[in-house]
Amino acid sequence: MAFDRLIEKAAKLQNPMVAGLDPKLDIIPEKIRERAFEQYGKTLEGAAAAILECNKELIDALCDVVPAVKPQCAYYELYGWQGMKALRDTIAYADEKGMFVIADGIRSYFGNAMQAYAEAYLGETDVGGGRTPVFGADALTVNGYFGSDGVKPLLRACREFDKGIFVLVKTSNPSSNELQNQAFEGGELLYEAMGRFCEQWGEDLPGRYGYSGVGAVIQPTWPNQLRDLRRMMPHTLFLIPEYESGSADDITPAFNANGLGAMVSTSRPLFCAWKKMGAPQEDFAKCARESAIRTRDEIMAHIGAIRL
C-alpha cells in the first residue's frame, strides 16, 4: 500500500517531512528566472522552465533528507499547460530521486469525472487502446463534499496502482469555522464527520503499519483538536500543511509513541531560507537543505525516533 512506502521512506530518513513545491515565480531565485526568460522570453513557457529548474535544484538538495514532496497544483496551473508540463516533469524527477509525491490538487467530483482525475493523477489513461500514466503522482489530495461517490473512483485507482489519497478534513484559515466547525444535530462537527468517513473509506485499503491508504489533511487550530482527531481517526495518516519552525509542540499529538501517524509539510520556509540566513541567493538550495535538516531535528526532538 502506498502509505506503507511513504512511512518506510520517512523511517529510513528518520524524517516525517514533506517539502511543499509551491514555486510561485516571485520566490524563485532571480538567476534561475533570468536564465529561463533569456531562453524562452517572459512567457508562460519561461515561467514553467524556471519552476522546473528551481524544483530540480531543490529536489537534488533535499532528496536524501526529506522523504516526500507536495507540489501544489494551483501554482502550476497558474502558468497554463506549460506549468502543467512542469508539474509532470517535477513529479517524474522527484520520483526518479526516490521521493514520494503528493499532488496537492484537492480535486472534487464524483462518478466519471472523478474517475478521470483518478486516472490522471494516480493511474493510467486509455489512449486508443494503450494505457499511459499521466501525471504519475503517488497520492492526491481530495475534497470530500460529494461523499463516498466522490472518493470511490480514487479508492479503485489506489488499489490498482498502489496509491493513496489525503482527504481535506480540517483547515486553519480563519473562515474554516463558517462550515467545518459547525455542529450537526447530535453534536458531531462537519470536519469530524469528514474524519469519520476517512476512517470508513480507509477500511478497504489497510496498511502494514496501522494507517490506511486514505489520509487526511489536518491543520489544527488548537492543540486539543489534533489530539481529539488523532483519537477519532486512529488508522488515518495525517498530512499537516504549512509547518512553521517553532511549532513542533503543536503537532506532536498527531504522532504515536513510535513516531508514526503524520507527515508534516513546509514550503515557503524552505524556498526562502537563504533570505533568513543572509546567504546569497545562489545558495537557495543549500540553504533549503540546511533549513530542512534543522526542521527535521526540531520535529524529531519532539516525536523521538520513527520505528516500524
Site for a copy of itself in 101-140 (CB under 8 A): 106-114, 116-117, 119-121, 125-130, 132, 134-135
Instruction: Rule CB under 8 A: say whether 85 interacts with a copy of itself.
Output: yes
What letter would DSSP give residue 128? T
Amino acid occupying residue 257: A
Between 46 and 213, CB nearer to a copy of itself = 46
Instruction: Rule CB under 8 A: say whether 175 interacts with a copy of itself.
Output: yes
Chain centroid to CA 73: how far? 10
Q: Write down the least CB distance from residue 303 to a copy of itself, Å.
A: 27
Interacting span for a copy of itself (CB under 8 A) from 1-9, 176-184, 226-234, 286-294: 176-184
Instruction: Rule CB under 8 A: say whether 288 interacts with a copy of itself.
Output: no
Amino acid occupying residue 8: E
Q: Using CB under 8 A, which residues numbered 19 to 78 contact a copy of itself?
A: 22, 24-26, 33, 37, 42-44, 46-47, 72, 74-75, 77-78
Residue found by looking up cell 486509455 in the block: 126
Q: How far apart are CA 271 and CA 261, in angstroms?
A: 26
Q: How far apart are CA 151 and CA 307, in angstroms?
A: 31
Are residues 19 and 293 in contact, defined by beta-carbon separation less than 8 angstroms? Answer: no
Between 9 and 88, CB nearer to a copy of itself = 88
Q: By C-alpha distance, which of 46, 123, 65, 56 is closest to 91?
A: 56
Q: Using CB under 8 A, which residues numbered 194 to 253 contact a copy of itself?
A: 194, 197
Q: By C-alpha distance, which of 204, 205, 254 is closest to 10?
A: 254
Query: Under 8 Å CB-to-CB from 157, ≥6 apart: which residues?
Result: 118, 119, 122, 123, 163
Which of 15, 82, 212, 236 is in the footprint of a copy of itself by CB under 8 A?
A: 82
Interface with a copy of itself (CB under 8 A), residue total 74
Q: Using CB under 8 A, which residues numbered 137 to 156 contact a copy of itself?
A: 143-150
Interacting span for a copy of itself (CB under 8 A) from 80-88, 92-100, 221-229, 274-282: 80-88
The string of DSSP codes covering 7-28 is HHHHHHHT--EEEEE---GGGS
Which of 92, 193, 232, 277 is in the footprint of a copy of itself by CB under 8 A?
A: 193
Q: Write down the least CB distance from residue 192 to a copy of itself, Å.
A: 11
